[in-house]
Amino acid sequence: MDIFVLIFLSSGLFLGWSLGANDAANVFGTAVGTRMVKFTTAAIVCSIFVVLGSVIDGAGAAHTLGKLGAVNAIAGAFVVAFSAAFSVYSMVKIGVNVSTGQAVVGAIVGWNLFSGNVTDKGVLLKIASTWVMCPLLAAAIAIPLYIGIKKFLSVKKYHILRLDAYTRSALILAGAFGSYVLGANNIANVMGVFVPVSPFTSFEALGREITSVEQLFFVGSIAIAVGVFTYSKRAMMTVGSSIMSMSPVAAWVVVVAHSVVLFIFASKSLQYFLVSHGLPEVPLVPVSSTQAVVGAVVGIGLTKGGKGIKWSVIGRICRGWVVAPTYACLICVICLFIVKNVFDQKVYSEMLYTFTPEVIAEAKNRGYDVKDFKMLQGKEYHSNMQIKKDLSSHNSALVKNIVELTSLSEVVNVYVSPARMDNIDVNWYGVDRIESVRELEGRKFKYQWQFRKALRKFEPWQEKEATPLNNLYNKEIEQRFESLVKEFSLNK
């Protein structure tokens, strides 16, 4: 591997270290803060299960984050990760837990601003909505759980030594589960921006293919584990004792409520279960474990009348949630300018958008009024922000559809190369889908929608009729298609 690739990946490792230093407190902070679990024990358990969660279940949330901004140059990914990590580190240094996810979102928005790309407001709103849902949901879980546990223990009347032993074991088990879902949900924050430009290549081991994304997530999870061991103790004490004095039982409730919330936003299996039973779909996005813990602690505090809650500490943490993404965005823009102009590194790849007669015909098929396309036809654009400015200057209604227009007009130059077929993970795509792709070997497609139409002729690539359950299947089809475009694009 090129030494420059390792240098660029170092910012992702720094971000992983920062997440471990910051967010391990959300898993074991209450246990360590109440002196029920030793820091060393907490660090070992947390590290093992963070790695497992990252590698096994980390892909779900990473896809949504990629929709916010597809960082398309490894130097740009380096700056995005560094900016988020630096903002998180700055907050941890002064003892304030912040959301790593919010810092990453802020940095990606900064990259979009610098590269002239429009931030998808729909995706940003989906992610931002979880910032509100996360603490509220954690509180809603913690309150009945705490009341139920208290009633259960009042009936059982365990001896204090036995209760102490049970509580220690319960805290470690809850921490292990919390660490697993922390890795599954938050590895997207650490390495998500590197997925489109991953330097790793797939290889086979123990009878299965180890994909480049799995390798990327493994490296990131190791960085998280190092952060847990080297710098998380101070943050653990902040979460464990500064917000509110808690009993060991309350500490267990906080960890469980936090872990359940992260599981809800990371589990594909749970999403499938909910939709298959007619329940609302939960978005798979990286959520703030810090917000989940704070929500759970406040929820327990409210059951006691709210008198024991240290609202000044809550206020300081909440201010960090606002400052972190703003700070990360600003740092990202400044660093991108420096890396591009001082170090002469390519921090983003210019895209090409053209509105040819084929694109306009496809837009008409999708129900667009094509008269507004006259101002675009024949022109070449190198960012979707330029398209938006042209449309805005003519007061075109198309400006609100800028994301779909970008998808329609982006020149991707897909060539279904027989040589690149060997890089395809058969286990992930499925044998039938791979065989369908082989039918297109040697063909070239200027736009990805042309490639998509060609694939739709084959049954394994066809979407199903829109129902809540089928929509999940259709999303998986779309994810696999997007991966194929990246694999076969000559712009790669």
Among 105, 481, 35, which Cα is nearest to 251's? Answer: 35
Look at 34-43, 51-60, 397-406 and tell me which has the smallest mean pLDDT.
Answer: 51-60
Residues 6+ apart with CB under 8 A from 247: 34
Residue 427: the pLDDT is 76
pLDDT at 7 over 90: no
Domain boundaries defined on the chain: 3-341, 353-488
Question: Tens digits of per-residue pLDDT, 290-337?
Answer: 788 889 988 999 998 877 777 777 777 777 778 889 999 999 999 999
Question: Tens digits of per-residue pLDDT, 412-431?
Answer: 999 999 988 877 877 778 89
Higher pLDDT, 345 or 305: 345
Question: How many Cβ atoms sit within 10 Å of the Cβ of residue 175?
Answer: 28
pLDDT at 470 over 60: yes
Q: By CB neighbour count within 10 A (0-12 exposed, 13-18 middle, 19+ buried), where does 273 fall? A: exposed
CA dihedral 368, 372, 376, 378 (to 10 degrees): 90
Percent of the chain with pLDDT over 90: 40
Residues 6+ apart with CB under 8 A from 171: 28, 30, 31, 36, 37, 248, 251, 252, 255
The dihedral built from the CA positions of residue 87, 88, 90 and 96, taken in this order, carries a sign that is: positive
Question: Tens digits of per-residue pLDDT, 151-189?
Answer: 999 998 888 889 889 989 999 999 999 999 999 888 888
CA atoms lying within 13 Å on the CB side of residue 406: 21
Residue 2: the pLDDT is 63
Helix axes 100-115, 3-33, angle to 10 degrees: 150
Confidence of residue 289 (pLDDT cuts 50, 70, 90): confident
Confidence of residue 410 (pLDDT cuts 50, 70, 90): very high
Among 482, 492, 412, which Cα is nearest to 446's? Answer: 412
Higher pLDDT, 322 or 197: 322
Residue 95: the pLDDT is 67
Higher pLDDT, 484 or 240: 484
Higher pLDDT, 407 or 427: 407
pLDDT at 265 over 70: yes
- Mean pLDDT rounded to a whole number for the chain: 86
Residue 425: the pLDDT is 75
Residue 479: the pLDDT is 85
Confidence of residue 449 (pLDDT cuts 50, 70, 90): very high
Helix (H, G, I), strand (E, B) or coil at 357: helix
Residue 49: the pLDDT is 95
Q: Rounded to whole angstroms, how far apart are CA atoms 94 and 77?
A: 26
Higher pLDDT, 248 or 489: 489
pLDDT at 237 over 70: no
Q: Rounded to whole angstroms, how far apart are CA atoms 153 and 143?
A: 16
Confidence of residue 206 (pLDDT cuts 50, 70, 90): low
Residue 395: the pLDDT is 83
The residue length of the chain stands at 492
Among 465, 448, 274, 232, which Cα is nearest to 353's? Answer: 448
Q: Are 17 and 227 in contact (CB under 8 A)?
A: yes
